[in-house]
Amino acid sequence: MPRWTAVAITLVAAILVLRPEPARQFESVGTRVFEPVEFGLSGLIGQVEDVGGTIQKIGELAGQNARYREQIDRYEAQLVRMRELEAENQDLRNLLGLRQKTGPNELIPVRKLAGDPNPFVGSFTMDKGEDDGVRVGMTVATSRGLVGRVVRAAPSTAKVLLITDPNSAVTGRVQSTGATGVVRGRAEPRAAGDDATLLMEKIPQQDSLQPSDLVVTSDLGGIFPEGLVVGSVVQIRRRDGDLFQEALVEPAVEMNSLERLYVIGDPGPRSP
């Protein structure tokens, strides 16, 4: 209680003791005068207490939010890890299929080091070469499908020409119908929304083609192992009177994000 309030109350009490009648009148007046003051002080103290409680609750909520944020971060990290494991498991299953296609040939794991500095050339350098058993002409693939072939080899690195390069040629076969043709990288300008980077040419006009048909490597060319996935048909070009038809093919492998690459080497272990 403030000092001036205590003094006033003491004065009123003294008046009440010394002069009862006038004191009662003064008491009534004092009550009317000081009651709003006391009420205001009481309300102010209550408000201060409420503010203190609110600040305390804000602190408690902030602590809870921090704990919840930590839990959410842990759950998100676990979710990312689970997705990575799922992708790895799928990759291993696909790799088993790749192993079945390549037979006794060795699979040499490699990594992409750098793309070609020339933007018009579809190639990249990988981190293994002749010292690791890599030779010119060998096939490079992922568990999803065909990537390209080795065109140059040094002791510790090698250059790979992608199937999306216009200078690349792959003998392809439509898996559902057996129709064959030559798959090349597209050198022609592409319209907006046209993401297909391969063109399958020299397909006999009488052969049946459908969008989403799967194209795999054929043993006719003798360059790539048979049965590797090249891509899927997204558009068919057919003109009456022509001997052949064409198909736009979307590669099975995303060439801009190459991961878990393998060189299909010679059968059996390498000589030391």
* Distance from the Cα of residue 10 to its chain's centroid: 79
Do 94 and 114 reside in the same domain of the chain?
no
Q: What's the pLDDT tens digit per position in 146-198?
A: 999 999 999 999 999 999 999 999 999 999 999 999 999 987 766 655 667 89
Sequence-separated (6 or more) residues with CB below 8 Å from residue 23: 12, 15, 16, 17
| Six-digit token string for 221 | 């060319």
Q: What's 253's domain CATH number?
A: 2.40.10.340
Using an 8 Å Cβ cutoff, are 247 and 181 in contact? yes
Q: Residue ranges of the alpha helices (H) in 125-200?
A: none
Backbone angles phi and psi of 252, in degrees to 5: -75, -25
**Could you give the number of structural domains in the chain?**
2
Question: Do residues 167 and 210 both lie within one domain?
Answer: yes
Q: Which of 85, 102, 119 is the last residue of a domain?
A: 102
Please give the structure tokens belonging to residue 98: 């790749």
pLDDT in tens, 41-50: 555 555 656 6
Q: What is the DSSP letter of 257?
A: S
Q: State the CB neighbour count (10 A cutoff) for residue 4.
A: 9
Distance between CA 21 and CA 35 in Å, rounded? 21
Indicate the residue type of 230.
V
pTM (2 decimals)? 0.65
Q: Are 221 and 173 in contact (CB under 8 A)?
A: no
Per-residue confidence (pLDDT) for residue 38, from 0 to 100? 52
The residue among 68, 102, 136 that closes a domain is 102
Q: Are 88 and 119 within one domain?
A: no
